[in-house]
Amino acid sequence: MSTRATVQEEDFRYALDVESAHFPASSRGWFQGRLHNRDFASLGFSLLPFFLCLTFLGGNLAGRTYGPSHWFATYQHGFLRRALVGEVLSRIGFLSTRLILCIELATVALACLLTALAFRRILFGSLAERRLAAFLLAAPAFLPHMAFMDGELDNFLYLAILLGAFALIRLGNLAGLAIATVCTIVGLLIHEAFALMFYPLILVLAADLVHRHRLRIQWVAAHFVLVLASFLAIVHFGKLPGDPGQWINAAQQRTDMRIDGTVFLVLECSLREQLNFVRHLYTLKVVGSILLTLALSIPYGIVLWRLARTACVYRRYSIAHARWLLVVFAAPLGLSLLGHDVMRWLSAMCINVSLFLLLIYRSTPRVDSSDTPDLHKALTAWTSLPVYAATLLYVLALGPWGIAGNRLLSNIGSMLGR
């Protein structure tokens, strides 16, 4: 035997001796078993939405001050709509740019954490379930969009709808409806647009509970009346008191970030003034960006529509119920008349559909018999097809939706503008 072979054999024996010394036979067998059973590919699907959030987090910090400027509206001079977040943060004397960034990051992190906790059984379930959760949560309209738009009030609104919707479907009784009502009113106090952005999900879930005889329709009607009264009161009594210039100057003294004065001008506007103001924002460039983003997002929309339709069929909704559900889900599009942030409204609609699918999936009992229709198999069957991988890669390449166009178009526009 050559000298080189002898040295290699001695090194191999030494490695075995070291392994045996540090890892007893029983522990080594347990470790190898755990390593063998661990599916790292499945774990990748579970973590994909959250890694994407890290990728797009803080994508436009310097140029986006509109959202954080709301944090300086308070109840100091009386009730004011959209001022709940600012009132909570008013206990902090000076909000530096770095502190604002930390609050934005903490808000997105909290949203991701609560989402992972709420849907952990799907995120860390079977491979098919992980694939379904990865597609819904990592889509351009969901978590990547929220990370890209950090600082906007949308993330606070998402926390309110997540808590309210989860409590409603988890408890499925009057207590759950009461929690959903409180979360809805909190969402309206954060921003009155919550009524069309995320509240439709509460209505859809409440209708599902009525359909399954878990809630009485009288309770849902009382809940709706209370929410409607709260919305009208907030809009009527929440007009900006005083001169917007004074609010802007006072806000600028509390931060080194540039305050976007449009925030306070909008709070003073009437409905007619708001409509006239928005009409001038729909420039040819904005409309073109929106239409191109919608055209690129057609595959994503088709998948969401088919999944929602499948859920309606297996939930045994009537045709009228299913059509009403689609109309309610489209409610955020009505905000296009009040703001040119069309992709924000579309994102809210897609988030509502995705949360509906995840909550319905989570609340549906598993079926052991092959003769019984299984909602879980119906929603996850397509994830084993080649079209799933192609669609997932496509929506990941699109990147998150922004205000009036996705990030991919923004990057292309920046390149062409150089």
Please report, as a single letter, which amino acid is at residue 16.
L
Give the tokens for residue 395.
Answer: 């929506």
Confidence at residue 414, expressed as pLDDT on a 0 to 100 scale? 53
Taking every pair of Cα atoms in the chain, the longest distance, rounded to a whole number of angstroms, is 95
Give the tokens for residue 226.
Answer: 């209370």
- Give the lowest-confidence range in 160-169, 187-196, 262-271: 262-271
**CA dihedral angle for residue 83, residue 84, residue 88, residue 92, rounded to 10 degrees:** -10
Confidence at residue 375, expressed as pLDDT on a 0 to 100 scale? 87
Confidence at residue 400, expressed as pLDDT on a 0 to 100 scale? 85
Confidence at residue 226, expressed as pLDDT on a 0 to 100 scale? 97
DSSP tag of 237? H
Question: pLDDT tier at 24 (50, 70, 90 boundaries)?
Answer: low
How far is it, in rounded angstroms, from Cα 379 to Cα 395? 19
Asked if 247 contacts 274 with a C-beta cutoff of 8 angstroms, the reply is no
* pLDDT tens profile 318-343: 999 999 999 999 999 988 888 778 88
Q: Alpha helix locations (H) across 23-96?
A: 25-37, 40-56, 66-69, 84-89
Buried b (16+ CB within 10 A) or exposed e, 7-33: eeeeeeeeeeeeeeeeeeeeeeeeeee
- Give the lowest-confidence range in 97-111, 349-363, 389-403: 389-403
Backbone region of residue 345 per phi and psi (left: phi > 0; alpha: psi in -120 to 50; beta: other values): alpha
Asked if 356 contacts 305 with a C-beta cutoff of 8 angstroms, the reply is no
Mean pLDDT, range 397-403, rounded to an integer = 81
List the beta bridge partners of residue 401: 406
Domain residue ranges in the chain: 55-416
Confidence at residue 15, expressed as pLDDT on a 0 to 100 scale? 45
Whether residue 77 is predicted with pLDDT greater than 90 in this model: the reply is no
Confidence at residue 416, expressed as pLDDT on a 0 to 100 scale? 52
Sign of the C-alpha dihedral, residues 334, 337, 338, 344? positive
- What percentage of the chain exceeds 70 in pLDDT? 84
